[in-house]
Amino acid sequence: MKRLILVVLLFLAAGLIDLKPINLEEAQSKNIKVFVEGAVQNPGYVRLEKYACEQDALNQAVPLANADLSGINPMTILKDKDYIKIPVKKAESEAVKVSINHGTIEELSTLPGIGEGTAEKIIAYRNEKGLFQSLEDLKQVHGIGDAKFEKLKDQITL
């Protein structure tokens, strides 16, 4: 311990260590930087006051017309180095697909040509045989032939 003190004193005497008082007010930043990207006009870092919320970041980044803000809580308090990604809205033609491996009776019944009875058959089939390995395997379910499969193939997923 004495050696350490002696080494520090030698460095101080030699001028190799510059000890200056630190102003704590200056050391504590009053601003934060948040990175915003995605469907915004001004992607990149935005500088905000401490305790700013997501809405403040969005005001600076300026969301585009096709920005999907449904996952954003504008009142969320941000901290330094937070990251916000604004996704693009899905086109209306990009309807949510129904999983033939995990869909419920209600979800499967929304498909064209699939009523509650056929939905029950789909669920019974996957419970007996296991998960579907391809979309075409759906044709193995009684009541789903080539014509019916063609009508719904673009609306299903595994």
| Predicted pLDDT at 73 | 87
- Which pLDDT score is estimated for 92? 55
**CB burial readout 4-15, b (16+ within 10 A) else e:** eeeeeeeeeeee
Where do the structural domains in the chain lie, given as residue ranges?
A: 29-86, 98-157
Facing residues of 128 across strands? none
| Helix/strand/coil for 26 | helix
* DSSP structure class, residue 3: H
pLDDT on residue 62: 95
Q: What CATH homologous superfamily does 98-157 map to?
A: Photosystem II 12 kDa extrinsic protein (1.10.150.320)
pTM here is: 0.45
In angstroms, the CA 44 to CA 54 distance is 14
> Considering just the CA atoms, what is the radius of gyration of the chain in Å?
30
pLDDT block averages, 10 residues each, the chain of length 158: 74 64 64 94 94 94 91 89 89 70 85 86 85 83 85 84
**CB neighbourhood size of 143 (10 A):** 12
Q: Are strands 44-49 and 31-38 parallel, antiparallel or unpaired?
A: antiparallel
**What pLDDT score does 59 carry?**
95
Query: How high is the pLDDT of residue 55?
Result: 94
